[in-house]
Amino acid sequence: MNLKIVINFVIAVALQVFVFNFAGNFTNYLPYFGLIAVILFPFRLSKSLYLLYAFATGLSIDLSLGTGGVFAGASVGFAYLRDFIISRFRKDWSERKTELVHLSLNSLIIYIIMSSLLLTALVYMLDAASVKIVFYTWPHILKHAAINAFFYLVFTLIFVWDNVYKTSVK
């Protein structure tokens, strides 16, 4: 496995466990920052490896928060649906050569926002364990998804800005 993937995993989970979990004690909001590792996983690698990686990321967050598999389930659900999301932006998706750095800046922002919304909705649905209750919590989901999307965008642009900027300037 690529060393960069492992480093992304360690940084994202460490930030979630040691920084954002404690920040959640002082506010009404706990960012799900550790899930950025799932969003940034390279598209060129196999789907089965991605599903295992998503499960490991979610399980790491679950163990730190004591949430009983909510994040593992949401991460795996997102990993399963990510191809559908990205196929909306790239026509050559069948070749699996698409990477985040090849997306235009607009597509990258839309991808991050859609990913944040999907991940947050999955976390809330699994946490509520009922689809009925989700309809009562949509404003909550949208608020948390917007805040998560901000964190995800900042982190993503820090790590891929040079490549995204070069691609969108062309």
Instruction: For residues 43 and 60, give the distance between their C-alpha atoms in angstroms, rounded to a whole number.
Output: 22
pLDDT band at 76 (very low <50, low <70, confident <90, very high): very high
HEC readout, 54-74: HHHHHHHHHHHHCCCCHHHHH
**Joined tokens for residue 90:** 């790239």
**3-169: which CATH number, 2.60.120, 1.10.287, 1.10.10, 1.10.1760?**
1.10.1760
Higher pLDDT, 22 or 164: 22
Instruction: For residues 92 and 111, give the distance between their C-alpha atoms in angstroms, rounded to a whole number.
Output: 16
Task: Please report, for the chain, the start and end positions of each structural domain, with discontinuous segments joined by +.
Answer: 3-169
Q: What mean pLDDT comes out for the span 148-155?
A: 82
Residue 168 has a pLDDT of 55
Instruction: For residues 108 and 114, give the distance between their C-alpha atoms in angstroms, rounded to a whole number.
Output: 10
Q: Is the pLDDT of residue 165 over 60?
A: no
Instruction: For residues 71 and 54, give the distance between their C-alpha atoms in angstroms, rounded to a whole number.
Output: 9
**Residue 78's closest CA among 43, 120, 110, 18?**
120
Question: Residues 16, 32: contact at Cβ < 8 Å?
Answer: yes
Question: Residues 104, 110: contact at Cβ < 8 Å?
Answer: no
Per-residue pLDDT of 17-70, as tens digits, reads 888 777 655 556 667 777 888 888 887 788 899 999 999 989 988 888 888 888
Torsion sign across C-alpha atoms 57, 5, 34, 164? negative
Residue 77 has a pLDDT of 93
